[in-house]
Amino acid sequence: MSRTPDTWILAAQCPSRLGTVDVVTRFLKEQRCYITELQSFDERLGERFFIRAEFRPEHAGFDAGAFEAAFVPRAGEFDMTFELTAPGTRPRTVILVSRADHCLNDLLYRYRIGQLPIDIRAVVSNHPDLEPLAAWHDLPYHHFPVSPETKPQQEAQIRAVIEETGAELVILARYMQVLSPEMCELLSGRAINIHHSLLPGFKGARPYHQAYEKGVKLVGATAHYINNDLDEGPIITQDVASVDHTHYPEDLVAKGRDIECLTLARAIDYHIERRVFLHQGRTVVFAR
């Protein structure tokens, strides 16, 4: 079920303590806010509690600032951090791509029809190939070529675009470059990457062809936040599909493309709707 356009989101986490659900739900009742969706999870190994509430104010003139100010002392009693998200929030976004167009094309279609509530400020690539696609959607396209020798300068150009656009979210839609540790630190918790997931793992060129040679029976994709470990950041969501001996390399590639598109879009959706909590390098995800 998609989120209704008039609901706010309150997302919070704190140490595991008695009364954590009550402090949120009681406050919302006192504020005359009707809860339309509520999810919570107590992570017993880390003794950490997570809660997400969608709610609809039952009175006119809801004041977000006053709401937050009133909740601060309640949350403070539980060492609780929280974030309030307004209806219609569309985070400013920059998309990084290389030559593969399937994920970018899928995201731009969802964006154009209003299914993906983001505000795309720019598309950045190390190749010129996808500029016509961005231009068709009337989006700025920045071509920054890169080589091992020019990587620091090229990343500085990307950082400048992110800063100039005020991007709150960066999407690596099959951007085939390894980001520096400094870039990973800068984008921690706000950059989402997508890559194929095959068992066993096939690294290097033509992974689906390698998978075909081994008779792989599953293909999939993983969407995760970036970190300094290549393709090993905190996982947001994954998907998988069965294949068999009738699938040739081109069939595996096609199925992989479809799964990558769906998985990336789902991860972005979860991030925007504050369904993802990061804690100590792991994620808690309230999927829908």
The H-assigned helical ranges of the chain are 20-30, 64-76, 102-112, 131-136, 151-165, 181-186, 207-214, 249-272
Scanning the structure block, which residue is given the tokens 């500085």? Answer: 156
For residue 69, which phi and psi values (nearest 5 degrees)?
A: -60, -40
* Amino acid of residue 65: G
Q: Which two tokens stand for residue 279?
A: 């804690």
Coil, strand or helix: which one is 285? Answer: strand
User: Catalytic: 106?
Assistant: no
Q: Which of 42, 119, 129, 231 is catalytic?
A: 231
Centre a 10 Å sphere on the Cβ of residue 63 and count the other Cβ atoms it contains.
Answer: 11
Nearest C-alpha neighbor of 195 from the set 160, 231, 228: 231
- Residue 138 near residue 110, CB atoms below 8 Å: no
Whole-angstrom Cα distance, residue 47 to residue 129? 49
- Cα torsion 124, 128, 131, 133 to 10°: value is -100
Q: Which residues are catalytic?
A: 231
